[in-house]
């Protein structure tokens, strides 16, 4: 939320980037992002690093 009660929302999709889940999560937390949800994609199934190829992250800062 911004000062004027407006929501600042950005949706970004990076299809050709590869990250190790644990390193990405650590980097986000170290840079003051809050990890809200981690899903395996549009199905919203809980992401499992050793089972899923696609990861959707929802964060805020």
User: What is the rounded CA–CA span in Å between residue 33 and residue 27?
Assistant: 9
Kindly report, residue by residue over 18-53, the tens digit of the pLDDT. 778 888 889 989 999 988 888 887 778 888 888 887
Tokens coding 5: 């009660």
Q: Within a 10 A sphere around the Cβ of 61, how many other Cβ atoms?
A: 7
Going from N- to C-terminal start, the domains of the chain cover 1-61
Mean pLDDT over 48-59 rounds to 82
pLDDT score recorded for residue 30: 93
The residue with greater pLDDT, 61 or 59, is 59
């Amino acid at each position: 939320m911004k000062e004027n009660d407006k929501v600042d929302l950005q949706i970004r999709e990076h299809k050709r980037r590869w990250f190790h889940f644990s390193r990405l999560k650590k980097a986000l937390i170290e840079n003051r992002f809050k990890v809200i949800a981690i899903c395996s994609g549009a199905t919203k199934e809980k992401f499992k690093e050793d089972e899923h190829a696609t990861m959707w992250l929802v964060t805020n800062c």
